[in-house]
Amino acid sequence: MSILTLKGARWVTVRQHRRALWTLPAAVAVSLAVFVVLRWRAAGATPRTGANPFRDLEEVLGYGGLAALLLPLLVGAFVAGPMVARELESGTYRLALTQSSTPRTWLASKIVVAAVTTVACAAAFGLVYRFARLPLTTVYEYSWAEPGPYAELGTVLPAYCLLGVALGALVGQLVRRTIAAMAVTGLVTGLVMAVLSAVRWSFLPARTITSPLGVQFPYPPDNAFTTDFGLITSSGGRLPEWACRRSSSLDHCPAELNVTGQYVDYHPVTDYWPTQSIETGIVLVLAALAVWGAFAVLRRRHP
């Protein structure tokens, strides 16, 4: 983002927070360099019995995925604290309002600068993550349905970053204390992410495969995400898989359970983008409501 192409309140915002704003692009560039080196080392490693040439790549990719999931919380906390609440707490926002800037322009500049920077960097890191993950697509921890890959390979992560920015603008004005605003924004953003993560696989109905009790357990298609499995009774009810004791050759189920079969619920890989679209839409609606609330609070205090 070039300061020379910006004017007015946006120029001031970038100038004030230029070091923090350049931190994200720098982190993406460093992550790309690290992943390129790790993939190159893994490709050139001498094969050894029992050795995993991608061990270092897996470890670093795991930390990188965790850091990306924390990005919306960090961005929201930064917008709420240093960008909004600190100026309200210290009174320095009054200087901006004397420089031919309206309160609306003052707040909009902070939201736009933070949103553009974080969304662009989140999308760029998604491409870097996709590149680094290519040799690990068959590893369970990096399958498409795991929290890290799910968020970073699609549109959910940029959407959560927008939500963090919007909540930061709202909470920063309501709390007006730097540290407290950062804590509240991080907590609320994390809570929204946790709730939607818990319910995302109920957006679309899961598919089910069954088999009679005593034969091979039903397995979902390759690359599918298993959400539940267990036993089926004669009435169609479901029991947990451990309801019957099993030996290596015979199932021992109490007769009163009336167990007749076994089932597996799963989502095929084709459910990935529909689920992403639904969750992204929900997050964007929440972000829009938070932005509306932020400007509503601003109008009430600065009519």
What is the structure's pLDDT at 89?
Answer: 83
Check pLDDT > 70 for residue 70: yes
Maximum average pLDDT range among 141-150, 255-264, 270-279: 270-279
| pLDDT tens-place string over residues 222-249 | 889 999 998 888 888 888 877 776 544 3
Q: Is the pTM of this model over 0.85?
A: yes
Task: Give buried/exposed letters for 86-95 (b at 16+ CB in 10 A, else e).
Answer: bbbbeeebee
| pLDDT tens-place string over residues 111-128 | 999 999 999 999 999 999
The distance between the two most distant Cα atoms of the chain, rounded to a whole number of Å, is: 82
Asked whether the beta carbons of 221 and 265 are under 8 A apart, the reply is no
What is the structure's pLDDT at 6?
Answer: 62
- When pLDDT is cut at 50, 70 and 90, the band that residue 212 belongs to is confident
